[in-house]
Amino acid sequence: MQFLRTLIWVLIAGIVVAFSFNNWAPVPVKLWGGLVADINLPLLMGVMFLLGFLPLWLVHVGTRWRLKSRLASSERTVAELRAVQAAPPPAAVPGDPVLTASPVAAPPLIPAETPVETRA
């Protein structure tokens, strides 16, 4: 899988280099006050890509950070609840009466057979 990822990045880099080499032409960019800047097309495209990519990437990083902190908070809460739930009951004090269940006879599972009356 790592080889495939590397191959794809090498292909993308090759395409970018070929595009830059074939389009190395100055592009006039009109600025304020009648100024004109001649910028190479690959540089202009790279700057525009970063202007579009960086805000969305920053939103993505912020969202990941917020979700990780919420997940960590939820995991801490679950751990606290499990610790409270798993705590053993308090030990009996020596002077307290201890309640024990006394044995009780269980009722029979099958009722006693009764003779069936027949009419003739």
Task: Please tell me the pTM assigned to this model.
Answer: 0.54
Closest CA to 64 of 76, 72, 53, 52: 72
Question: pLDDT tens digits, residue range 37-76?
Answer: 999 999 999 999 999 999 999 999 999 999 999 999 999 9
The angle that helices 41-86 and 2-22 make with each other, rounded to 10 degrees, is 150
Residue 19 main-chain phi, psi, to 5 deg: -65, -45
- Which are the contacts of 92, defined by CB distance < 8 A and separation ≥ 6? 98
Q: pLDDT class for 85, splitting at 50, 70, 90? A: confident
What pLDDT score was predicted for residue 112? 60
